[in-house]
Structures are given as structure tokens and as C-alpha cells.
Chains A and B, each alone.
Chain A
Amino acid sequence: MYMPDYEYHAPGNLAEACALLGELGGKVTVLAGGSDVLHKMKIGSLAPDHLVSLKNLKELREIRYEQGRGVVIGALVTHDGIYRSQLLQEHFLSLPMAAHTMANTQITNIGTIGGNIVNGSPLADLPPILVALGASVKLVGRSGERVLPLEEFIVGPGKTVIAQDEILTEIVIPDQATTGSTYKKFGLRKSGALAVVSVAAAVTVEGGTITDARIVLGAVAPVPLRAKSAEASLKGKKVSDAAIEEAAAAAAADSRPISDLRGSDEYRRELVRVFTKRALRKAIDEGHV
């Protein structure tokens, strides 16, 4: 299985990379880990004229905590790197677990968090929990940088707002007011299966009352979808089975699934209800897990 010919570039630093991306004509693809890009080139859905590798941008391989900003994750951290990060395991265990269970070891050692986001797949595992935690992304281009909520970054299947000369450099999870968060995924196998449905939830519970909730649905809309009526239904309610059931039903109504080889729309809608219920219960009872 061979890939099309393209010109390979490996700029030495971020400024060079942005300059190069701005100058190159034709179809240009940025290479992070390669687990998506190589796959697409092999099956023939991607045939770039230029491939720009980020392998020399070593500063994007770090995870650190910055006072006032939160947890800063370099875009080139691999899924395995996220799984093994003590900082992330202590604060938001759901993110390391989402990274760990998304694929087999040979892929989690290659794929990166930045690639997972820029790929823009509606069934990607990291965006739902990151959106639930209010994460933002930093984009650096020739003329400067901008920071925007991840929720506004992905706009359709495989579509993001990134400009030709921009590189996603950091994902930032802000300090949380939330008291719990979790990510639940339903796949057709135990290992390496794509999500049929996934649900991320982040809740703020004060004295038995839900003061805030974010629920993000994966694989049931063109983008990771905020279940806004489900979120609204929880606000100000006392924690109860009835409140959770009501929110789960609202999330199912919020979802816009399609039928494909992994499941029918009807089946997916029911899965959204069941997994929203489980995710909310877990985030409320167990904290950031």
C-alpha cells in the first residue's frame, strides 16, 4: 500500500513552519503524529502536494501547569503521553482515560492530541471531554497568535477554522469551578473501536444543587455537540435520579445522529440517553474521573 508523491518539509522551528505554510502553493498538509494523515493518504482520500512535518517543534511535546492559565498541553503530546501524565491523571482523569482507550498502544504512541483535534472528526475521543472542561486552543500563524474556545474551532466533519499558515500549538484546560467530569464511550469492541456514541459531562454541584453542567455528545452530529437543553434542564436542580433522567432524555432529543455501519440513528439516540445518565451520575458522585 503506497502513498502519493509529495514534497516533504521539516521546518526547524515554529516561525519557519508558519512562514513555510504561508508561502507554499497547492495542497498543503501538516504532519503531526501521522496516524490520521498516513491513513488518509493510503486509502486515497488525501493527496497533498506538500507535507509539512512538525517533528522539530520539540517544545510542543510538553504538558505543564501555568498559574492563571491552567493545564497547558503541547499539541504534539501523544495520546500515550496524555495517558501517562501525572498532572492530568491527578486533575482530570477522564482525559487520560479517553486518550488511553481510543486506540491500541501502537497508535496511542503515534497519534497526537493536536492531530486528533485538527482532524475534526465528529467521533474523535478527545474533543468532547475537552469541550466539557472548557478547553481552548492556541493557533499561531505568520502574523501572530489567537486563542479560541475548542468548541468554536471545529465547525464540521473534517472542518476547522484553522488558516493555511496556522499551527495549533497548545490546548489549555482552565482552572475549574466544576466539581466533577467524566467521559463515557460506547464502541463495538473492547479495544480500538471507534465511538458509536460518546458523552462527556462536567458538572458543578454545590450543597446538593447542580449550579452548572456541560454535556458534550460525540459521534451524533457533524461536530462534538453541546446538549444545551439537557444542560439547561439541570441548572438549579437538586441532584436526583429524576433530574438526571430528564437531562438524559433532553440530551437524546438534542442529538442529531445519522445511521451508518456502526449503528442506526434510533439506536444512537437511545445510547445518548443511557450514556448521558451514566456520565452525569459518575461526574456528580465521583468527581473528576
Chain B
Amino acid sequence: MSNVITDKDGVKRYLITLHVNGDEHTILVKGNTTLTNALRDQLDLTGTKRGCELGDCGSCTVLFDGRPINSCMKLAVEAEGHDIVTIEGVAANGELDAIQQSMINHAAVQCGYCTPGMVLSAKALLTRNPHPTEPEVREAIAGNLCRCTGYVHIVEAVLAASRGDLIPDDAKHTMAGGAK
């Protein structure tokens, strides 16, 4: 491991380099700093949420070498040398990812606290399996707890994104002669 700095109380801090959203960030962390806290408190990437902090709720989900993990269950010092994607890294060139646009189209966001993790789990699924079935979508987001929506709109949003169906519902109604 890289540089270690010991303070007057004997607590060690480690100079580590994290590869996040395509950029390299060199930061100083303690041995017990979680990846969640390093991302939020040091890199200002506050889209990664602190929820249960015990690996149950999925609001701190990030992609770790392309796979979703709970960043609250990973030490920052253990994340060195791995490719990390947070919700801030999903929209490319200022344009929302299909999943993000679809979540808006389907009103799949209520309080929004679970949404970053939900989008990242869905992103990992569609990268590996571009045309999932509904049960596959439900399984992929099983580790992301939403207490607002009942998941129906979220599942519909992911399935629509997988079909490339990104026309907002309202626009669809207008084109079809308009229900409202």
C-alpha cells in the first residue's frame, strides 16, 4: 500500500487512489473509512446515499468492476485498484442514461432516496442482459429497498428502457389521439 501517515494518537491514515467515474482521485482515509463515506465526504459524490449502512437497503449501491455492491460494506482501502461507478457517472456527456430517462417517464421516483442505487442495479443488469424478463428485473433490484412506490413503476421503467421505449407516457397519449 501507498503512503501511511500516523498522527500523534497513533491513528494511521492511508493515501489511496480511487478510480471513480473514469477519474483518479487521491485521498487520505482511515483504515475503517467505508467506501460510502469516502465517496460522499471526500469526493462530494453525495448521490451515493447512506441508508441502513448495514448492507440491507441498497441505497449506497455503486458499481465495483461493473458489479453492484453495497459501498457501506466495503472499506475505502479495499477499493484501490478497482473501477468504481457512482450515480454521478451514469449520465454520459450531460445526457441522461436510458434508465434514468425512463424512470422520469414512468414517474418511478417518489422520495428519490433509493433511486441512485436502483438505477445502478438496473444498469448492471442491462449491461449484462440487455433484454431481461420482468422476474429478472425484480431479482436484479431485490437488494434495493423502496418504501414509496411498491416497485411497479420502477420495474416498468427498467423494462421500457430495455426495449428502447423512451417516449414519455404523456406524449404517447397525444400521439394515439390522447386519452387526456
Contacts and interface: CB of A to CB of B under 8 A. Distances in A.
A4 B78 CA distance: 17
Given A109-B64, A191-B143, A1 B77 contact: no
B70 A107 contact: yes
B160 to A, nearest CB: 21
B69 A191 contact: no
Interface string A163-176: 00000000000000
B168 interface: no
A5 interface: yes
Contacts of B142: 104-105, 190-192
Contacts of A8: 12, 14, 31-32, 75, 77
A117 interface: no
Nearest to A10: B1
Contacts of A103: 143
Interface residues of A, number: 31
Given A4-B32, A8-B12, A191-B143, A109 B54 contact: no
Contacts of B58: 104, 106
Q: Is the interface of B mostly helix, strand, loop or mixed?
A: mixed
Nearest to B11: A5
Interface string B20-34: 000000000011101
A1 B32 contact: no
Contacts, number: 92
B67 interface: yes
Given A106-B61, A109-B69, A191-B143, A38 B75 contact: yes
Interface centre among B32, B56, B74 (most CB of A within 10 A): B32
B89 interface: no
A4 B140 CA distance: 33
Contact of B143 (A1, A42, A53, A106): A106
B85 to A, nearest CB: 13
A125 interface: no
Contacts of A51: 31
Interface string B48-79: 00100111101001001001111011110110
Interface string B73-113: 11101100000000000000000000000000000000000
A1 B50 CA distance: 9
A105 B73 contact: no
Interface of B: 1, 11-12, 14, 30-32, 34, 50, 53-56, 58, 61, 64, 67-70, 72-75, 77-78, 121, 124, 139-140, 142-143
Interface of A: 1-8, 10, 31, 34-35, 38-39, 41-43, 51, 53, 55, 80, 103-107, 109-110, 190-192
The 9 closest A-B pairs by CB, nearest first: A104-B143, A8-B31, A191-B142, A1-B53, A3-B32, A106-B70, A106-B143, A109-B67, A109-B69
